[in-house]
Amino acid sequence: MKTPITNKNTTNFANEFTFFFVMAVVLLWLKTYVVQLTQFNLGIESFIQHILLLVNPLGSSLLFLGLALLFKGRKKFIILMVIYFIMSIVLFANALYYRFFNDFITIPTLMQTQNFGNVSSSAGTLLQPVDLLFFADVVFLLGYLVLKFNRLEINTVTSKRVKRLLVTALLISGVNLAISEIDRPQLLKRGFDRNYIVKYLGVYNYTIYDAYQSTKATAQRALASSDDATEIENYTRSNHADPNPDYFGKGEGMNVIYVHMESIQNFLIDYELHGEEVTPFLNSLTNEESTFYFDNFFHQTAQGKTADAEYMVANSIYGLSQGSAFTTKGLNTYHSAPAILEQQQDYTSAVFHGNTGSFWNRDEIYKSFGYDHFYDDQYFDIEQEDLADYGLMDKPFFKQSIPYLESLPEPFYANFITVTHHFPFTMDQEEATIGKHTTGDKTVDDYFQTARYADEALEQFFHYLKESGLYDESIIVMYGDHYGISKNHNAAMREVIGKEVTPFESAGLQRTPLFIRVPGMEGEVNHEFAGQIDLLPTLLHLLGIESDEYLHFGTDIFSDEHDDIIPFRNGDFVSKDISSVEGKFYDTSTGKLLPSDQREKAVEMQKIAEQKLSLSDRVVNGDLLRFYTPDGFKEVDRTQYDYDADLQ
């Protein structure tokens, strides 16, 4: 048996690569740990969770950087640096995304390329000088490699070492997962909250998990059948809320005007700053004689934010937990509000939005919804001074929309999407009519000026409606689409609301105002717990249309049988009695943790909330409405819509 020949150069190469590899692993491990600890609000609650947060990036670093060992010679160094750079980009991108959205990037989010141009200015405001440190280690390793590269001898690392390393990496990751499952049972099965996945498994393993979930969701459509649709039908029928006879048909034959209030949160109502009401017009609507104001109405959006809100309002189906159904499910079959109203009561439908039609894939999915007209930025005279980050500012937007609105055949269903009160809440100080807040947090301080502008724009819009004669012929529904200030600004929000923003208080801040004005009815302040998912069945019943034939996951807010369990996309929920926030149950009225003797009821409510989300996801991912047609409903023909026709 021959003895392998080992020379000095081979030994130097092996030692050199081993040193470089260990250095890269340690740097990536520590960087990832520090970023996960300081940049993400993961809610570390125990010593075990902190240890897991420390250990999970080690397993990932060994495993992914270890893939470089599968290559020969100098390629190892190059491949290792490529992998290192990609992992650094993943870490940085998630940190940047988390600063505003308080969430992590998903594969479907990355597919929304048509939105990148519009969000670039917002992303720029999130950058900080400290972000250069995300890549300081990359520069260091590259510099080290450049100095050493030409003196490295070409050879291989033994397969035994490679196997040993990969087994070690898998063992660390496996033990990490096992302990995580003990601390958080069914961690991967109950994957509604991405915060938990990152807290226990780390940002890199989360990315792999997300890719798997995205692939699984894509496959669901191919595997779906009519049996799945039947199961959903049985669920929605058994959970249908019959209309309240005192409200049913009270708005029959009236026009419907929706106003989608960008980033308006409910704490703004009656809030005073510098001795002034921030939203005096909205405040006045809480006492308007024909207006119902709901002070326990919650947004239920996820990564799709604005698009999720539109999706729920039009369909009474939840948005997706990953990405946006607007961009990934635009060609699905839908039984949306525009199509239902056209077929049931001969309504004409239109959307007004002073931004590019392709943003959020609106120009495509609106065809699937059955909208007759889409007035995007092409239809508006947009001067530079009237342009906000996300399109035409609200005041000129409403003013220029009125002639188009007046030209629609009645009755009409019209949806207005506002944009000025959008992060980063920039406002020309000549337009501002109230001073900024003084918390020292720029996002929070600026928020109040754009909120005042949005309020003034809405007041002008109501004036236009009154002048046109449409005001007393229309049901007007206005709702806040999603939060404007994320959890990352809780320190400043403590000063705004006058108390610490605990997880329970943070759930309460997801309230957004809902106003429903029905001419001829006696309005009130309504305290019912409700969400965006409930708006479509509520509207249909006001118009005298039965909703039990449709697969809706919301229920009529005015119904005595209304279901007040309001799920959030992360699996939490709120209700009149019990709320679930970050795995803990609270008494909603007091904000205190629920006594142990009431936990059984809370667990059942948690299961109901998760079931709603799960069944809704099956409808969307499986495109199940193609297997089910309500009595008297005709499937929408996308080819009959041309949103550029009105320009000719």
Instruction: Kindly report the three-state secondary structure assignment for every residue of 584-636.
Output: EEEECCCCCECCHHHHHHHHHHHHHHHHHHHHHHHHHHHCHHHHCCCCCCCCC
- Neighbour-count burial for 578-590, b at 16+ CB within 10 Å, e otherwise: bbbbbeebbbbee
Query: How many Cβ atoms sit within 10 Å of the Cβ of residue 486?
Result: 20
pLDDT of res. 147 = 82
Q: Give ranges for CATH 3.40.720.10 in the chain.
A: 231-627
Residue with the two structure tokens 């900024």: 436
Which tokens sit at 106? 């998903």
CATH of segment(s) 231-627: 3.40.720.10
Least confident interval from 58-62, 477-481, 540-544:
58-62
Long-range contacts of 462-466 (CB under 8 A, 24+ apart): 462/281, 464/398, 464/399, 464/402, 465/257, 465/402
Pick 545 or 78 by higher pLDDT.
Answer: 545
Give yes or no for residue 116 having a pLDDT over 60. Answer: no
Residue type, 186: Q
Instruction: Name the residue among 29, 49, 52 with its Cα closest to residue 173.
Output: 52
What is the rounded average pLDDT of the residues 306-329? 94
Give yes or no for residue 212 having a pLDDT over 50. Answer: yes
Q: Give me the sheet containing 474-480, strands edge to edge.
A: 373-375, 348-353, 412-417, 255-261, 474-480, 514-517, 291-294, 524-526
For the stretch 376-392, pLDDT in tens is: 999 999 988 888 878 89
262 is in an annotated binding site: yes
pLDDT of res. 259 = 99
Give yes or no for residue 150 having a pLDDT over 70. Answer: no
Residue 4 pLDDT class (50, 70, 90 cuts): very low
Whether 439 is catalytic is no
Residue 270's region, left for phi above 0, alpha for psi from -120 to 50, else beta, is left
Give yes or no for residue 447 having a pLDDT over 80. Answer: yes
What is the rounded average pLDDT of the residues 444-452? 97
pLDDT of res. 2 = 45
Give yes or no for residue 100 having a pLDDT over 80. Answer: no
Question: CA 279, CA 91: separation in Å to the nearest integer?
Answer: 39
Pick 512 or 387 by higher pLDDT.
Answer: 512
Query: How many Cβ atoms sit within 10 Å of the Cβ of residue 378?
Result: 13
Residue 3 exposure: Cα atoms within 13 Å on the Cβ side: 2
Annotate 115-175 with three-state secondary structure. Answer: HHHHHHHHHHHHCCHHHHHHHHHHHHHHHHHHHHHCCCCCCCCCHHHHHHHHHHHHHHHHH
Which tokens sit at 423? 């992060």
Can you list the positions of beta strands (E) in 192-316? Answer: 255-261, 272-273, 276-277, 291-294, 297-298
Pick 623 or 215 by higher pLDDT.
Answer: 623
Give yes or no for residue 123 having a pLDDT over 70. Answer: no
Q: For residue 431, give Cα distances in angstroms to 270, 277, 451, 452, 498.
A: 22, 17, 12, 10, 28
Pick 429 or 213 by higher pLDDT.
Answer: 429
288 is in an annotated binding site: no
Q: What percent of the chain has pLDDT over 90?
A: 72
pLDDT of res. 13 = 46
What element of type H or E holds 83?
A: helix 75-101
Pick 515 or 116 by higher pLDDT.
Answer: 515
What element of type H or E holds 387?
A: strand 387-388
Residue 149 pLDDT class (50, 70, 90 cuts): low
Give yes or no for residue 111 having a pLDDT over 70. Answer: no
Q: Assess contact for 46 and 75: CB atoms under 8 A.
A: no
By the 10 Å C-beta count (0-12 exposed, 13-18 middle, 19+ buried), 485 is classed as buried
pLDDT of res. 153 = 55
- Report residue 291: phi and psi, to 5°: -110, 135
**Active-site hit among 32, 106, 306, 348:** 306
For the stretch 35-61, pLDDT in tens is: 999 999 888 878 999 999 999 999 999
- Report residue 316: phi and psi, to 5°: 55, 40
Give yes or no for residue 483 having a pLDDT over 70. Answer: yes
pLDDT of res. 5 = 42
3-state SS class at 357: coil
Residue 154 pLDDT class (50, 70, 90 cuts): low
Question: CA 590, CA 190: separation in Å to the nearest integer?
Answer: 28
What is the rounded average pLDDT of the residues 259-270? 98
Q: For residue 132, give Cα distances in angstroms to 128, 137, 205.
A: 8, 10, 24
Residue 524 pLDDT class (50, 70, 90 cuts): very high
pLDDT of res. 313 = 99
421 is in an annotated binding site: no
Q: What percent of the chain has pLDDT over 70?
A: 92
What's 501's DSSP letter?
Answer: -
Q: How high does pLDDT run on average in the chain?
A: 91
Query: How many Cβ atoms sit within 10 Å of the Cβ of residue 165?
Result: 18
What is the rounded average pLDDT of the residues 604-612? 97
328 is in an annotated binding site: no
Strand partners, 272: 277
For the stretch 332-379, pLDDT in tens is: 999 999 999 999 999 999 999 999 898 888 999 999 999 999 999 999
pLDDT of res. 121 = 54
Start-to-end C-alpha separation, the chain: 87
Which tokens sit at 170? 């898998």
What is the rounded average pLDDT of the residues 61-78? 88
pLDDT of res. 549 = 96
306 is in an annotated binding site: yes
Q: Look up the pTM and report it.
A: 0.81
